[in-house]
Amino acid sequence: MRISIIGSGYVGLTTGVGFALKNHKVWFVDVDKRKVDMINRATSPIYEPGLEEALREVHSKGLVRATLSYEEAIKSTEITFIAVPTPTKDDGSIDLRFIENVSRSIGEALKDKDKHIVVVKSTVLPGITENVVKEIIKQVSKNDNIYFAMNPEFLREGRAMEDVLNPDRVVIGVEDEYAKEKLLSLYKDFVSEDRILIMPIRSAELVKYSSNAFLSMKISYSNLIGRLAKRLGIDVYEVMDAVGMDKRIGRDFLNAGLGFGGSCFPKDVKALSYFTKSLNVRNTLWEEVLEINETQIGELINIMKSVVGSLKGKEIVVLGLSFKPDTDDIRESRALKLIKKLIDEKAEKVYAHDPIAIDNAKKELSHDKVEYIYDLQDALSRADIVVIATEWEMYKNEELYKDKIVFDGRRVIRGEHARYYEGLSW
Ligand code: UGA
């Protein structure tokens, strides 16, 4: 198949490279010339394990091409995926700026095009594919030969290639046979047919929010049990290992700690909560999920204070800045929120380390009290108080923490050699 993908971020790029690995020809469209040039040189603009190798492979076979031009990409292809961000505004409503602009540009490029399918991969609330994307494209293109679909993406950053190539399930929201058959034949190469779920477009849109909100809820649930466990001197991980062994519950996403960050969970739960209220459906569940998440950092700060007293004037090492390991993404990272809180508490200096996210962190948080240190040993040599904020593999070595006072926000170590060790909920 000939496929165009609008937006070369985590979702667009990894999905497109995944299609190309199955021998489909893929055109990437992006407004960022730097990204376009990098993809055309077979260099990945984002860090994602396995992505650059895969990109090199499909590039060498002539299966991928990036362009700034919608016209070029859409005219050369038969199906277009939209994979641009859908951020949340401050009030919790979904921000459709990118989706609307992209839909207009797609509409322009589809003016005289023959049969074409437009698939929304971006996370959008129920109704948006039909009422916004389809409406705009039909209005601008005046073309009746366009078919629409919604196909949510469930990949995790840091494991994106793995998830794209081996999805648990594929959800396809469609309203006609043509788009259904095309998408079925595209995805049959990735997953067995019983794991491809066909449904109305709005249902597919809701599956995505429902999945992300459920996983967020599992995390906040564990964090709440974690607070209880901490006060009782119980290790919440021991409890959750047992709870999660019940097949009906499952052990995944029950890891208590500093909470969830990233570009999806916080914004999706906020948007779902706002949307639910706008339909006059009473709900407090998702607000509670977010509230627990936001206050986890305060829980850790209180634990730190109970051990070392006031944080005023203290020098502190913070390990891990990305929102989770194996990514350089710092969006909604709990670690950066924690550092801001340490500064609010008047800490004298924060020495911040991360194996790959420092450059991104610097853009988000630059402060004279924060010094970013690229070398782990060097960072650890700067102060005695250490906080582990992201569970990078390299932090798992007990020897690193000899004679340190360690506060573990992700249950990374046992603190065998530490002078003092305290976990957030264990
Ligand atoms: C999440 C979903 O897992 C994907 O299925 C989805 O496609 C994606 O959002 C999206 O909507 O695009 P991602 O944000 O990449 O993926 O990362 P996760 O691995 O889900 O982790 C999210 C956050 O939850 C991280 O900050 C992580 O540290 C935290 N987390 C995760 C916990 O605190 N405890 C856990 O047990 C698991």
Residue 359 belongs to domain with CATH number: 3.40.50.720
185, 285: one domain? no
Is residue 76 predicted with pLDDT exceeding 90? yes
DSSP 392-406: -GGGG-GGGGTT-EE
Q: Do the bridges between strand 170-174 and strand 146-150 make them parallel or antiparallel, or are there none, so unpaired? A: antiparallel
Task: Catalytic residue, from 54, 58, 225, 264: name it.
Answer: 264
User: Which residue's alpha carbon is at the smallest distance from atom 27 of ligand 1?
Assistant: 260
State the pLDDT confidence band at 266, using cuts at 50, 70 and 90.
very high
- Quote the ligand 1 centre to 99 CA distance (angstroms): 23
Give φ, ψ of 79 to 5 degrees: -145, 140
CB 343 within 8 A of CB 322: no
- What one-letter code names the amino acid at 361? A
Confirm whether 357 is domain-assigned: yes
Confirm whether 179 is domain-assigned: yes
Confirm whether 354 is domain-assigned: yes
- Quote the ligand 1 centre to 159 CA distance (angstroms): 11
- Quote the ligand 1 centre to 219 CA distance (angstroms): 9
- Quote the ligand 1 centre to 388 CA distance (angstroms): 18
Confirm whether 316 is domain-assigned: yes
User: Which helix (H) or strand (E) element contains residue 310?
Assistant: none
Confirm whether 29 is domain-assigned: yes
Site to substitute for ligand 1 among 13, 84, 156, most atoms within 8 A of C-beta: 156
Give residue-wise pLDDT tens across range 389-399. 999 999 999 99
Site to substitute for ligand 1 among 166, 219, 329, most atoms within 8 A of C-beta: 219
Residue 290's pLDDT is: 97
310, 243: one domain? yes
Residue 81's pLDDT is: 98
Q: Report the number of distinct structural domains present in the chain.
A: 2
Residue 418's pLDDT is: 97
Confirm whether 206 is domain-assigned: no
Ligand 1 neighbours, Cβ below 6 Å, are 123, 153-157, 212, 215, 219, 253-255, 257, 259-262, 264-265, 323-324
Ligand 1 atom closest to the CA of 332, numbered from 1: 26
In the 3-class helix/strand/coil scheme, how is 197-236 assigned residue by residue? Answer: EEECHHHHHHHHHHHHHHHHHHHHHHHHHHHHHHHHCCCH
65, 193: one domain? yes
State the pLDDT confidence band at 47, using cuts at 50, 70 and 90.
confident
- Quote the ligand 1 centre to 156 CA distance (angstroms): 6
Active site residue 264: yes
Give residue-wise pLDDT tens across range 164-219. 999 999 999 999 999 999 999 999 999 999 999 999 999 999 999 999 999 999 99
